Every structure is written in C-alpha cells, then in structure tokens.
Amino acid sequence: MSMMSNDGARPLVVVIHQISNDRRGRRRFMATMNGRVLCDATPNPIPCAAACLLRRGFDPSQLIIFQDAVTDFEESLSIAEALALDDVVVPLMRGRR
C-alpha cells in the first residue's frame, strides 16, 4: 500500500487531542489517525502532525482533515499548507522535494 497521494485519494483524518497541561500551564497535544497514536503534537498540533505525516512518507500535497477531539473544530489543509502554519516546523520540509 502506497502512502503517496493521487488525485482520487480521499483525505486523511487526523484528530487532535489535548492530553494534559504541564506545571507551567502549557498544553500538550497528541495526534491520532484511524484510532492510533500518530505523534506527540506539542506545541503546535496541526503543523506537528503534518510534519509527522511527511516523515512517514506521505506526499506534501496530501489533503488532511484536522479535527479537534472535543469541539467541532475541523480544518482541511494539505500537508504543505499545514507545515506553513509554523515557522518552527517549516525547516523540516526543506530538502524534501
């Protein structure tokens, strides 16, 4: 099974869970896909989950539907668009063309 996207591919659904607060009040996040843990998505859940998918070999143009586990928040972005939301994560994409 190839993880690369194609024009007919269905979007992946990634669910973001807030799992705790640390002693300083910073929130910690986890991302899941198909009911399985995808990655630690702290500090910025959407770009962190996108970077994890990119490291796993998914195509940067793959469409992802990000959902919050508790609220009705939902956002559809490609992996590349999600990475662009965070200056810390963007350097991970350089050199992967």
- For residue range 32-74, list pLDDT tens digits in order: 999 999 999 988 999 999 999 999 999 999 999 999 999 989 9
Give me the helices (H) in the chain, please. 45-55, 79-83
Tell me: pLDDT of 5 over 50.
no
Phi, psi of 37 (to 5 degrees): -65, 130
- The pairs formed by 33-38 with CB atoms below 8 angstroms and a separation of 24 or more are 38/14
pTM for this structure? 0.77
Query: Average pLDDT in the 22-35 region?
Result: 89
Q: How confident is the model at residue 8 (pLDDT cuts 50, 70, 90)?
A: low
